[in-house]
Amino acid sequence: MKKYNLKLISLIGCFFILTSVAFAQIPDGIVTSIQSGNDAALAEFFNENVELVVQTHDDVYSKSQAQQIIAEFFKSNKPKKFSIIHQGGKEDAQYAIGNLTTNTGTFRVYFLLKNKNNSSFIHQLRIEKQG
């Protein structure tokens, strides 16, 4: 019985360690820049080209074009709260899904990050209005 309890405790401990590692994959700067509506801070995480789907925009944009689109979005939709609801991935790529509450409603936010030179860059970003 003691051996079983020790294995169970070890298994639970490993689960919490792996879960905390998975949550550490998404840089805090991305979350805080979305929460605060800071397009410049968010753009620091953009790759040179970003696949962007935001309102009427749906294309691959340069980093500076993507920042302008995000700035326009945040200007029209002032963030109140942002939280990650799911994330995952592997060593060289991570993704996250979150809910963004703004003064105009709730949006689902999806982003894909890829690692390059030991840094994470946003390759895809989608911000879609919730029903």
Give residue-wise pLDDT tens across range 94-109: 999 999 999 999 999 9
Its pTM surpasses 0.85: no
SS3 123: strand
- Structural domain contains residue 52: yes
CATH assignment at residue 108: 3.10.450.50
- Structural domain contains residue 122: yes
Q: Tell me the C-alpha distance between 3 and 75, whole Å.
A: 59
Q: Per residue in 7-35, is it b (16+ CB within 10 Å) or e — as a string?
A: eeeeeeeeeeeeeeeeeebbbeebbebbb
- Structural domain contains residue 10: no
Residue type at position 37: G
pLDDT value of position 14 = 54
pLDDT value of position 75 = 97
- Structural domain contains residue 7: no
Number of domains in the chain: 1
